[in-house]
Amino acid sequence: MMETSAQSSHKVGHLAMRREADLIDDIPDSGELYRSLCPVDHKNNCVAIRGIRSSKKQTCPPILIVHDVGERSDMYWDCIKFICENDVSSYSYDQRGHGVDTELSGHLDRFQDLVSDLLQVTSWVRHMHNGTPPIIVGQGYGAIVANELGSKFPQFVTGIVLAAPTLELAWKPGPIKRYIIKLMAELMPRVKVPKGLHPRFSNPLHRQVGKTMATRIIRSLIGPRQLRLTFAFAQELFEAMDGFDKKFQSLKKPVLVLKPGSDEVARFEAMDQIATHHPIQNLVTTRTVANVHHNGFTEGRLPMESILDEVLTWAKADQMKTSPDSGV
């Protein structure tokens, strides 16, 4: 088990310790547990990284998963184990404002902070793998973060997987609500967006499994805490969604677009158009995964395996070794 000195001084709650113990009980024989706190800025902010480093000969670059809004990295632990069982190292991390012990849960100041955080985590993973940049797998709004990173810092990325990118929401604020969000972002940026204005960026249904009826009723009234974004963050996220096309067209690394066949959160007509107009057509691969919902990575074993089979097949293809500026 590899740990940093920063982690040893980190105060971890009892709940987090129990969850962490559950995670490490079934590490595959071919892997080594990796846990660390990665510094992301000069204000002593860190994000928690967890993953499994495969001891087998690496057939493709490591994979780094960027979770969706309102999620945590431990929700992707089964994904990490499955990837390791296929002889590939894999990691995930708690994005700023997420995680069990974070004091910022439910509040994010700037969307671009997430891009900067991903850059630091990517650099960390690249260093651990002798300079080989990881493949970034972004789920939901994590795909928007991954797209921004790949556009700005291509040397830190081998390839990008955009899984259910939330460019077109099945339910989203209209022009009037968008104007209110923009105005409130200028006047009261740290206030959280009320439920009536809040865009539905992810699917909370799979998070209700195992909850009591009373808990589900309460959560339906007040909303999951981590899904209540601030006005400032919501506005920056909308701007990133609006600017996604331009950033995508500048990507110079292989891209896999995964579209869940039963997605109830996002629509993909705009994504299809954007992918069609990429200037380097052989870099973009699009796949539809049947019978999978928006958060397929965390909805059960079969949906997870269906998606990860697509990711691993693409990640091990020859195109990953011959892409422009691959750095591999």
Residue 139: predicted pLDDT: 95
Q: Single out the residue of 132, 1, 145 nearest to residue 69, CA to CA.
A: 145
Length of the chain (residues) = 328
Q: How many domains does the chain have?
A: 1
Domain-embedded: residue 327: no
Which pair of structure tokens corresponds to residue 232?
């400032």
For residue 227, the model assigns a pLDDT of: 54
Q: How far apart are the first and last CA of the chain?
A: 27
Residue with tokens 């671009």: 112
CA 279/CA 276 separation, integer angstroms: 9
Within-domain flag for 328:
no
pLDDT at 74: 87
Q: Where are the strands (E) in 146-272, listed by range?
A: 159-163, 168-169, 255-260, 266-267
SS3 content of the chain, % helix, strand, coil (to 5): 45, 15, 40
Measured CA to CA, the distance from residue 171 to residue 187 in angstroms comes to 25
pLDDT block averages, 10 residues each, the chain of length 328: 38 43 66 86 84 86 91 90 94 81 53 91 94 96 95 95 88 83 91 74 48 52 55 87 94 96 89 94 93 89 94 82 48
pLDDT of residue 13: 37
The pLDDT score that the predictor gives to residue 25 is: 61
Q: How far is CA 91 from the centre of its chain?
A: 11
- The dihedral through the CA atoms of 232, 270, 71, 121 has a sign that is negative
So what's the pLDDT on residue 19?
Answer: 54
Beta-ladder partners of 136: 64, 160
Place of tokens 């601030």: 230
Using the structure block, give the residue that is written with the tokens 């865009």. 199
Q: What is the CATH number of the domain that holds 133?
A: 3.40.50.1820
Provide the strand spans (E) within the chain: 31-39, 46-54, 63-66, 90-93, 135-139, 159-163, 168-169, 255-260, 266-267, 284-289
Rounded to a whole number of angstroms, the CA Rg of the chain reads: 19
Domain membership flag for residue 262: yes
Which range marks the domain in which residue 64 is found?
Answer: 5-322
